Amino acid sequence: MATRLAVVVLISGRGSNLQAIIDAAQQGLPVDIRAVISNVAGTAGLERAQGAGIHTEVLEHAGYPDREAYDQALQRLIDGFQPGLVVLAGFMRILTPAFVARYHARMVNIHPSLLPAFPGLNTHQRALEAGVREHGASVHFVTEEVDGGPVIIQARVPVLPDDTPEVLAARVLEQEHSIFPQAIQWFAEDRLSLQGNAVLLDGKPVTGLIRISHQGGGRRQGHNPR
Ligand code: GRF
């Protein structure tokens, strides 16, 4: 069997995306989760990791004079595990340029919107306020622009008339748990790369692979080469 990709996962909270990755790894996703690092102590995500026998670390920002100092410490911690991929799974911190550069083309994030729509926080509330008919989630390579890096894969869900932010979030989250392991699998299989601003899958540029889920209906998966 080919060697598994060494991965470090960064979290800040609940860790449901982490759980999806753990579950996928137990079902054959070729990754070795070397560590889960949280910037917040006592999170549910840490418990999930410990429950799966994964090494955990907590690195809180208290005690660091500034963002640069924290990110340097975080980088030292991450590099000790020698990951081939750094996975941001609900890691709620702005990253410094030096940190982003360190993991260029080998750090991915999941964001609960159809980027470039709704970067930042409170995406479900904002989607409802904007009256959009579709919403979703995106996995992207991390660049200096917050939630602005090249998109790897997106999942789209309908916005329904009675949706609350919570109901919509749950519909999106279900799709997050599908597309995040998928993107990681491509990377682990050496099929996915970032060349300049282009995401390449099997050597071909992609504009985002969109899984459309219809309420109560079927699914289709499309591949949109440029
Ligand atoms: C997810 O909605 C993710 O898209 C966003 O933060 C949330 C994390 O949820 N970046 P969880 O901790 O994975 O459950």
- At how many degrees (to 10) do helices 16-26 and 165-188 cross? 40
% of residues, the chain, pLDDT over 90: 89
Residue 208's pLDDT is 66
Distance, CA 109 to ligand 1 centroid (Å)? Answer: 10
pTM of the model: 0.94
Residue 223 in this model has a pLDDT that exceeds 60: no
Residue 209: its pLDDT value, please?
A: 67
Q: 209 and 46 in contact (C-beta within 8 Å)?
A: no
Concatenated DSSP letters for 113-170?
Answer: S-TTSS-SS-HHHHHHHHT-SEEEEEEEE--SSTT-SPEEEEEEEE--TT--HHHHHH
Is the shortest distance between the CB of 102 and ligand 1 below 6 Å? no
- The predicted model gives 115-121 an average pLDDT of 97
CA of 9 to the centre of ligand 1 (A): 12
d(CA 212, CA 18): 23
- Write the pLDDT tens digit of every residue in 20-77: 999 999 999 999 999 999 999 999 999 999 999 999 999 999 989 999 999 999 999 9
Protein residue whose Cα sits closest to atom 8 of ligand 1? 90
Average pLDDT for 124-148:
97
Question: Catalytic amino acids?
Answer: 111
| pLDDT computed for residue 207 by the predictor | 74
